[in-house]
Amino acid sequence: MLPSQPLLHTAVFALTVLQALASNTFIAAVYEHAVILPKAAIKPVSPDDALALMNSNMDILEGAIKEAAQQGAHIIVTPEDGIYGWRFTRETIYPYLEDIPDPAVNWIPCIDPTRFAPAPVQERLSCMARNNSIYVVANTGDKKPCNSSDPSCPKDGRYQYNTDVVYDPEGKLVARYHKYNLFKGETQFNYPKEPEAITFETPFGKFGIFTCFDILFHEPAVVLVSELQVDTVLFPTAWMNVLPFLTAVEFHSAWAIGMGVNLLSANTHNINFAMTGSGLFTPEGPVAYHYDSETDEGRLLVAELSAQPRLSPNYPPAINWSLYATSIKKFPEEDTFLGAVRKDIFTFSELRHKAGNYTVCQRDLCCHLIYQMSNKSKDEVYVLGAFNGLHGSFIKYYWQICTLLKCKSTDPETCGHPVETAQTKFETFSLSGTFGTNYVFPEVLYSGVQLAPGEFEVLSDGRLKSKHGTSKPLITATLFGRLYEKDLPHPLRMSPSRN
């Protein structure tokens, strides 16, 4: 006699849990998805047309989820905007939204789809998780009605949120997160009134979740790690790469190292918008990553990670980011000049020799560099740079940056312009700074926008050092610091809005 389908599913789920419990590791997956975008529209499409587009994207996501499960993955993260894209106004996104309940309702949409209002997207995501016995992380849109009794209620009588959802291997909704830090242009969505620090427990550690632009701010990103002590962060994103410091793989890997957690980063893939770069990042560096600015194809990444990285024998020691830099005398400051990285004014000093020691200061931040190049090309110029101030034209947040950086040409005015390729390798480099924060993210980026796993280390005194020389030409080595306490108040959160 064959077991019934529910009993069979329960047995499979129990086996998955036991396998995870028996190990200090788990298998994670992220999928970089080439999203099928809606046509630009002035008026909302019909609910049927909206669902047809979302199903087209979910068909692709379901294939990736099945493949990840077949490779033994316990959890998979899919990208921000991965179900419907991003060409929307507040009105035109409405047919794509569903009312997503609080996970406290204890709901498996796959087996009880009519319990609440119609929710075909939630039902399908739940079934993808249940049918493949895998945690599924997706990004979609939530709508919540409101009325005039709420002074912040928008004029159209509803809140609309950029929302992450997580379904467990039984298909149950276990997490819902409303994006707190909306990127410019996300006018189709509302800001939540308060930041949500969303966590959930699994057999393979404690998880937290946030979305894209959130990673650059204190709430909820730092709160999840420093206060709530999550082991792994789930990170759906639609990240547009910005050289030299904010390409997806570069900064997300650095954030995982700086914060001491796993980061499962799933980006959308659209080379016309410079969107690519996903990875499985750990406190010790990237385990797997993908960057492809040439093709239009998605990519699945699967790898084994430590379930509780803080307990790993290889877990990096605590770092005093300014210890070394404040303990030494300044090196000579030679021929400094100002240059713009986008709109941020850096203080630069050109590295005129094959080897040397340099210091560059801006306000109370001094950056120290000791280096030796393998070859000094006449066609390439490198600088040591410092930036200590507010970044951003609308939302203003405080950066402290020390960087060893390749200029776009031999013209000093191009220092800070985007560069993707280089020819110069370094035998050694050691970069440090007198940072006023504990939140510093170490970046090393090679020619072709490639990472350098295993080729650099951060010492407990705050030095970013190469281990054995660079195996590829260097674009930048950077210490990217964030002084969250100096951020200016958010211009759209200073008073209730009725947008």
| Residue for token pair 């985007």 | 418
CA distances from 185 to 151, 189, 394 (A): 24, 9, 12
Bridge partners, 25 (sequence order): 306
Based on the residue annotation, tell me whether 472 is a catalytic residue of this protein.
Answer: no
Neighbour count for residue 345 (Cβ, 10 Å): 13
Based on the residue annotation, tell me whether 212 is a catalytic residue of this protein.
Answer: yes
**How many residues are recorded in the chain?**
499
pLDDT at position 248 is 98
Strand boundaries in 17-83, DSSP class E:
25-32, 75-77
Token reading at 238:
């639609």
pLDDT at position 87 is 86
Q: Considering only CA atoms, which of 291, 287, 263, 293 is closest in space to residue 278?
A: 291
Q: Considering only CA atoms, which of 76, 480, 419 is closest in space to residue 252?
A: 480
Based on the residue annotation, tell me whether 80 is a catalytic residue of this protein.
Answer: yes
Token reading at 284:
């010790």
Residues 6+ apart with CB under 8 A from 2: none
Distance CA 90, CA 97 (A): 11
pLDDT at position 255 is 98
Specify the pTM: 0.94
pLDDT at position 3 is 44
Active-site hit among 32, 62, 80, 98: 80
pLDDT at position 297 is 96
Active-site hit among 110, 127, 153, 212: 212
Distance CA 338, CA 335 (A): 10
Active-site hit among 32, 123, 153, 179: 179
What sign for the dihedral angle of Cα 445, 216, 79, 239? Answer: negative
**What distance lies between CA 279 and its chain's CA centroid?**
9
Q: Give the SS3 label for residue 271.
A: helix
Alpha helices in 156-211 (DSSP H): none
Distance CA 32, CA 278 (A): 6
Residue 186 has, within 13 A of its CA and on its CB side, a CA count of: 22
Three-point CA angle 35, 94, 107, nearest 5°: 80
Q: Average pLDDT across each block of 10 residues of the chain; the chain has 499 residues. List them in order.
A: 48 49 85 96 95 98 98 98 96 98 98 95 98 98 96 96 98 98 94 97 98 98 98 98 98 98 98 98 98 97 97 92 95 91 97 96 98 91 98 96 97 96 97 98 98 97 96 97 97 55
